[in-house]
Structure 1
C-alpha cells in the first residue's frame, strides 16, 4: 500500500484549527459584545462608566490570567476537556449574568463565569494548533484566532438586535446558550498532538513522526528565565494597558459624539473585519518575513491606529481607526503564539503561552477600567487613548531589543 493511499485526504490539523476558530469565535465574540451592554447596565444599576467597565476588566483578567493554569494542564492532560468545560462555563456565566440583581452580581456572574470559561478554553485551543504545524504555523495560528475577529464582527450587532428584542437580560441568556452549544460542541474536535494520531505536522508523511519537533522544547523554568521571554512578557504587559480599551469604550465614545446606537455598535464590527484580515493575511505574511519582525510591526500599527482615535471627531475617522486597529490587533494575536513556539519549542508551548498571557491579564484588568474612571473625572477619553498609543510604542521598542538577542534557550 502506498503512502498516498494511507494518508487522509484532509489533514486533521485543519480540523483542530476549525475547532480553535469556533472556541475563539464564540468565547471572545460573546465577550466583546460588552461595549453594547454598557449603557443598559448603567441605566439598570445607576452605575458610573468606570464601575461598569470594571466588569469587563475582571473578566479579561481571568480569561488571560487563567492560561497560567489551563496551559500546563493542557500540556499534561490534553486540550479538549479544558476547552469543552471552558465553553460550558462561558455559557453559564452569561446565563447567570442575565439574572443579576445588582452590579456586584454581574461582577460575579460575568467576571467569574465568562472569565473562567474563556480562560480555560483559549490557551489550550490555541496551544494545540501550534503543535500541528511547522512551516505554516503563522498562517494556521492566524486562521485559528481569526475566530476572534469574525466574532467581533458578528456578535456585537447580534447582541444589539437581541437587546432590542429581548432586553439586556434576554440577550445575555441567548448568548450563553450560543456559547455552550456551539463552542462546547465544536471543541470536541480538538486533538492535542499529531503524534497521538499517528501523524506528523503540516500533513507530512507519518514516517516523519519520529522526527517531529513537538516533543522538543525548553523547560518552563529555562524559558521563563530567558531574555526572550522576559522581553516578550514586558512588551505584552505594557501593550495590554491600551489594547482592550476600544472593546469597552469605542461605542460609548461614538455615542458621546451623537452617533446613533446601531451605527456605533457597527464600529466594533469594523474592528472585527480588520481583525479577521489581520489574523488571516498577516499571520501568513509573518511566515515569510519573519514572525519576530512582524510582532514589531503589530505594536507600531496599533500605536498608529490609537493615535487616529485620539483625534477622531466624526464617523469617518472612527471607521478608519477601527479598521486599522483591527488589522494590527488581529496580527498581534495571531503572531504571538507562533513566536513563543519559535523561541521555546513545542513541549511546553501551552504552558508558556499561558504564563505569557498573564501579562495581558494584568493590562486588561487595569486599562479599560482606568479609562472609564478617567472619563468619569474629566469627561474626556483623550488622555487614556494617548496613553494607550504610548504603551504600544514602548512595547515596540522592547521588541527591537529582543530581536537583537541571539542566544535562545536550548531545545532539549
Structure 2
C-alpha cells in the first residue's frame, strides 16, 4: 500500500527550501563590499538584482509545467541546489557581465524554479487552508533576510565578500537539498480525505472549481483583472522595499542607523503579513482580503504625505509591509480559486508577470521622481495612491463579477 503523505511535512520542507532561496533579498548587504572589492558602481551592481526579479515568470511557468505533472520534488531540488551554486559563484565574478549572468540570469532562473514548485505544489495539499499555506510558504522566503543578513555581515567582516558568497551559497545548496528529500507531489485535484495523515482530514469544498489550462485562462476576462490587480498591489510594496531607508532619512529626519532599523521592521511586517492575510483570506475570501489590503495601502500613503512625524513613518512602514506581504500571500490562492488546482503551476507563473512588471517599474519610477524633487518622495507617494486606487477599482469589479457568476450558478 502506498504510504500516505503528511501535508504538513511537505509544507515545512517547502518553507525550508524557500528560506534558502530567500537569501536573494540580502543582496544589498553584499553590494557595498562587492563595489569596494571590484571597483564597480553600486547602481550597476544592483542591476543584477533587477535582472534576477525580471526573469522570474519564465522559470516559474517552465517549472510550473513540470510541477503540474508530478515533478515537484525534482523541480524544487534542482532549483534550490542550482541557486545555491550560482550564489556561491557570484562572489567569483570578475566583470559586471559575469555578475549579471551568474546572479541575475542563472540565479533568477534557479530561485524561481524552486519557488514555483514549492508554492504551487504545496497549496494543492491545503484546499481548506490555501491562504494560510501560501502565506507560510511565501513568508519563509520573505523572512529569509532576517536570518541571512546578520550572517552575511559576519562572514563579510571575517572572510571578505567573495568567501561570504561562497560559504553561504554552498551551505544553502546543501540545506535545500536536505529539505527537498521530503517533498511529495500533490494530486491535481483537491486532496481527498484519505490522503492526509496524522490529522483530521479537511472538509471537502462546498463548490468545485473548474480546472482551466493556460489557454483557457488567457481567454477569460478574470485573468486580465488578476494580472493588473497583482501588479498594482505589488507596486507600492516594491516602492518601499527599495527605498525605505532613503525615505526615512530624507523625509523624516532619521539617521542612517535608525533608518536601517525601519528597513528590518518593514521586512518583518512583510513576512508577518503573508501569514496573517493568508489566514484571514481563508475566512473572508481572497477577494475581500485584497479589497481591505488595497484600502489599507491607500490609508498608509495618505498618512505619509500628511504627517511629517516619525510615528507616522512607523505606522506607514508597518502597514505597507503587512499589505505587501498580504498581496504575496493571497494571490496564489486567488488564482487557484479561480482557475482550479490542476494547472496552478503554469497559471500562477503567468499571472506572476504582473509582479515582475511592477518589480521592474516601481523602483525606477520612485528613484526618478525622488531625484527630480531633491530627495522628496511625496510625488512618488501620490503616484502610488493613484495606482492602488485603480487596483482597488479593478478588485471591486472582480468581486462584483464573481458574485454575479455565483448567483447565476445557483439558479441553474
| Pairwise CA distance, 1:60 | 0.8
CA separation in 2, counterparts of 1:115 and 1:167? 24
Matched, 1:236 2:230: yes
Deviations 1:243-290 (A, max 9, x none): 3233333345556656245x5444333123212322222211111111
Residue in structure 1 matching 2:181, options 163, 188, 191:
188
Give the SS at the match of 1:192: coil
Give the SS at the match of 2:185: coil
TM normalised by structure 1 equals 0.84
| Pairwise CA distance, 1:374 | 5.0
User: How do 1:9-408 and structure 2 match up within 5 A?
Assistant: 12-28=6-22, 30-44=23-37, 50-194=43-187, 200=194, 217-254=211-248, 259-261=255-257, 263-306=258-301, 317-372=312-367, 379-380=374-375, 382=377, 383-406=379-402, 407=405
Change (3 A) 1:24 1:95: same
Deviations 1:276-310 (A, max 9, x none): 32222221111111111101222333344455556
Change (3 A) 1:24 1:120: same
CA separation in 2, counterparts of 1:247 and 1:259? 18
Deviations 1:334-373 (A, max 9, x none): 1111111111111111111111101211221232244445
Contact persistence 2:234–2:327 (CA under 8 A):
no
Contact persistence 2:188–2:341 (CA under 8 A):
no
CA separation in 1, counterparts of 2:166 and 2:115? 22
Contact persistence 1:200–1:208 (CA under 8 A):
no
Q: How many residues matched?
A: 400
CA separation in 1, counterparts of 2:360 and 2:245? 19
Aligned to 1:3: none
Deviations 1:15-52 (A, max 9, x none): 11112212222212x11112333444454555556434
Q: Give the RMSD, CA atoms, in angstroms.
A: 3.5
Deviations 1:99-145 (A, max 9, x none): 12233332222111321111111122111122111222222222222
Contact persistence 1:67–1:123 (CA under 8 A):
yes
Change (3 A) 1:47 1:391: farther
CA separation in 1, counterparts of 2:90 and 2:151? 18
| Pairwise CA distance, 1:389 | 4.0
CA separation in 1, counterparts of 2:176 and 2:341? 25
Q: Which moved more, 1:398-407 or 1:266-275?
A: 266-275
Change (3 A) 1:138 1:96: same
Deviations 1:295-333 (A, max 9, x none): 122233334445555678776554433322221122211
Q: Which moved more, 1:167-176 or 1:358-367?
A: 167-176
Give the SS at the match of 1:181: helix
For structure 2, the 5+ residue unaligned runs are: none
Contact persistence 1:213–1:346 (CA under 8 A):
no
